[in-house]
Amino acid sequence: MVIASSYFKCDDHTRLSITGDWVLVNYQELKKIKDSLEQALSTTETIDFSELNQMDTNGAHLLIKMVGEKRLMEVLEQDTSLPPAFRHLLLAVLQSFDEAKQQQIDKKKYNAVAVWLDRMGRRTIDAKNETVRWLSFFGSIIENMLLAFLQPNKWRFTSVVAHIDSSGFQAIPIIILLNFMVGAVIAFLGATVLEQFGATIFTVHLVGFAFMREFGVLLTAILIAGRTASAFAAHIGSMRLNEEVDALKVSGVDPLNMLVLPRVTALLVSLPLLTFIAIVAGILGGMVVSVFMLGISPTLFVDVLIDKVGLRHFLVGMSKAPIFAVIIATTGCLEGFRVQGSAESLGQRTTASVVKCIFLVILIDAMLALFFMEMGW
């Protein structure tokens, strides 16, 4: 009995010939011969590809599903009539079948908990590497800064002043507005609660404690982290893209001295000053609410602030500013140096600098708050 179609023929019970064009255009017709081809395969011993005209990936995929992976692999090992291009195509599709099966096995092998633990482990290792990289970069900054103090003739005053202007002076309006509004909100919320107990005068204590110890420096650091750290990363990153950093190295100029130290120095100067301005603005916002809503006179507000809050809380808040300045400047510059030759990398590093700075600022602030509380400061 002869079984035949446009895509195969079986002249006897020993040989099956694959014929025609096994391509995407004929895919629907090829699917219709599945039953007849499987019937022919069950009665034949060998498969011949000498009459095959064309075959693409879709045809190879369908042929493998009809013939079977194991049997087709045996045919490929024995049959020499198949052109090399078709042979390589079938082997490539067979390999993709094996990879897909292996992926399914891997998915079944690991449950959701194991996958989650694996992901957390990898992130922990990445965090450790990030910490080591940051500490190494910070150590290099400290080393270069100490050496620079011994060589005053190499100080870059112009660059430092320019960065103080861009990162500090130009940020004053937004710092004043933000802290004034937050101070007003804190005073309003505190007065709403304290009024129920007839203790509205303690609104002064609340505003003073909040801004002197925490909100003044924290809000300023977060704002500078989003504004200045991203600018540092973008500027140094663009210099990396344009190979300007490599040009500095070739010219014998240390990029740390040229690009990083002026930025760190500028932020060490500007952030404490901005913090002081933020504290004053926040207290003024609370004073405005106290005067117009609570009937507390400005004189009484200032007297209570001086007598009951005290200078100690102001010094605690101001002591955090240099620490946050170093963290923000170091992180922003480090992320800029990590840009790798593409605009996409520049965007990623700029975003990473902002996220890392805000995270580190909040984390260090919480640790310092606990430390000062335990020390009774």
pLDDT per residue as tens digits for the range 248-300: 888 878 888 888 888 898 999 999 999 999 999 998 988 888 888 877 888 88
Close Cβ partners of 6 (under 8 Å, ≥ 6 residues apart)? 19, 20, 29
The reported pLDDT for the residue numbered 176 is 92
Domain boundaries, the chain: 3-109, 143-375
The whole-angstrom separation of Cα 356 and Cα 333 is 12
Average pLDDT over every residue of 234-242 = 85
Per-residue pLDDT at 346 exceeds 80 = yes
Which amino acid, residue 95? Answer: Q
> Is the overall model pTM greater than 0.75, yes or no?
no
| Percentage of residues of the chain with pLDDT beyond 70 | 92
Question: Greater confidence, 352 or 11?
Answer: 352
User: Which tokens sit at 106?
Assistant: 């891997």
Read off the DSSP letter of residue 200: T
State the virtual CA torsion across 160, 165, 166, 167 in degrees, nearest 10: 80
Q: Which amino acid is at 149?
A: F
Output the pLDDT for position 104: 64
Q: What is the mean pLDDT of residues 184-213?
A: 82
Residue 110 has pLDDT above 70, yes or no: no
| Fold annotation for 3-109 | Transcription Regulator spoIIAA (3.30.750)
User: Tell me, what's the pLDDT at 107?
Assistant: 58
| Percent share of the chain, pLDDT over 90 | 10
pLDDT of residue 2: 47
Q: Are 59 and 92 in contact (CB under 8 A)?
A: no
Mean pLDDT, residues 162-189: 88
Give the three-state DSSP class for 33.
coil
The Cα–Cα gap between 276 and 321 comes to 9
